[in-house]
């Protein structure tokens, strides 16, 4: 019921925003594309707990000036590339905090790497460095996804935070595995593998449920260059299947990594991770750019 109310509110607000704009076939197509994106985005806000009216208004406000979007999309460029006409520059605050956090994260990684360089470092110090690198890395990922770019609208807060958490878990898992290689108990490796698998599952789930974030001009450009379309953009079910396949591949790879390490030896077990990466990339290439059956008669 909330989804229906949210959709109706989007229709009302969008009709108001387009009032006074000459309705050409191009503008009508743009309006319907915007409507579909706004309904999807407002639905995410409603699922997060916002009232239907507030969810619809937030989605509309996130889009910005409708008239500017129409003008930019329908204007005829004089030899200027579309990406140049629609360029969105990052805010100074985002650039500053990203640079500062990147320096902090790089410093943490250097500290965490000291044991591998033969420098004595207390376990507490190494753990703290890994934790800082994981938290900083996750924050940078989530923060970057919440920024508007030239081609995409920002990811809503909840999914963006989930991407950040997944990135942080992956970094923490890699750090735990690295510390284990310095002589710590096997539990560190098992914990690191568990964190890494959790990150992969979260990434797969987010990828399978990600809604369209492309701006209207990108969608229009894609329609004009349809030969470059990929299966994921045309078949959301394919994206969901790839997420499931990816999770299955890496869960099996990490299980094989542990089993081979405890039987054949850790010097060879890492090859399972390489094999998993190769298999995942082959599956991605096959599913993303696989042969599509033309519907043309």
Identify the CA nearest to 238 among candidates 296, 196, 288.
288
CB 44 within 8 A of CB 211: yes
Q: Which of 50, 75, 100 is the last residue of a domain?
A: 75
More confident residue, 83 or 215: 215
Is the predicted pLDDT of residue 294 greater than 60, yes or no? Answer: no
Q: Which of 75, 99, 134 is the last residue of a domain?
A: 75
For residue 231, what pLDDT is reported?
A: 60
Minimum mean pLDDT among 149-158, 174-183, 232-241, 252-261: which range? 232-241
More confident residue, 245 or 1: 245
**Model confidence pLDDT, tens digit, residues 18-39:** 777 777 777 777 788 888 888 8
Q: Calculate the average pLDDT of the chain.
A: 78
Q: Residues 23, 112: one domain?
A: no
- Provide the number of structural domains found in the chain: 3
Q: Where are the alpha helices (DSSP H) in 117-264?
A: 123-145, 157-180, 186-209, 216-224, 231-234, 236-263
**Model confidence pLDDT, tens digit, residues 81-123:** 656 666 778 888 999 999 999 999 999 988 888 887 778 888 8
For residue 45, what pLDDT is reported?
A: 81
Q: Residues 101, 71: one domain?
A: no
Task: Over range 237-241, report the average pLDDT.
Answer: 71
What residue numbers bound the domain in which 13 lies? 2-75
For residue 221, what pLDDT is reported?
A: 67
Token couple for 243: 């997420």
Q: Distances in Å between the alpha carbon of 192 and those of 180, 181, 205?
A: 9, 11, 20
Nearby residues of 37 by Cβ (< 8 Å), 6 or more positions away: 153, 211, 212
């Amino acid at each position: 019921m909330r989804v229906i109310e949210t959709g109706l509110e989007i229709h009302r607000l969008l009709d108001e925003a387009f009032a006074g704009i000459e309705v050409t076939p191009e503008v009508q197509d743009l309006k319907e594309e915007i409507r579909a994106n706004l309904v999807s985005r407002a639905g995410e806000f409603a699922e997060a707990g916002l009232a239907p009216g507030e969810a619809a208004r937030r989605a509309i406000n996130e889009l910005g000036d409708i008239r500017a979007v129409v003008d930019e999309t329908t204007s005829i460029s004089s030899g200027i590339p579309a990406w140049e006409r629609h360029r969105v520059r990052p805010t100074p605050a985002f650039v500053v905090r990203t640079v500062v956090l990147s320096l902090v994260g790089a410093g943490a990684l250097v500290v965490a790497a000291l044991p591998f360089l033969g420098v004595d470092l207390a376990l507490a110090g190494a753990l703290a460095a890994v934790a800082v690198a994981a938290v900083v890395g996750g924050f940078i990922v989530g923060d970057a996804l919440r920024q508007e770019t030239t081609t995409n609208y920002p990811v809503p807060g909840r999914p963006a935070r989930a991407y950040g958490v997944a990135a942080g878990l992956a970094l923490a898992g890699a750090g735990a595995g690295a510390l284990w290689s310095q002589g710590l108990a096997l539990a560190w490796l098992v914990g690191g593998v568990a964190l890494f698998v959790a990150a992969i599952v979260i990434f797969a789930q987010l990828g399978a449920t990600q809604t369209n974030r492309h701006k209207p001009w990108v969608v229009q450009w894609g329609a004009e260059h349809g030969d470059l379309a990929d299966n994921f953009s045309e078949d959301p079910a394919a994206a969901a299947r790839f997420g499931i396949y990816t999770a299955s591949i890496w869960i099996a790879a990490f299980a094989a990594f542990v089993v081979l390490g405890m039987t054949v030896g850790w010097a060879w077990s890492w090859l399972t991770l390489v094999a998993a990466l190769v298999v995942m990339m082959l599956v991605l290439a096959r599913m993303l750019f696989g042969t599509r059956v033309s519907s043309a008669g």
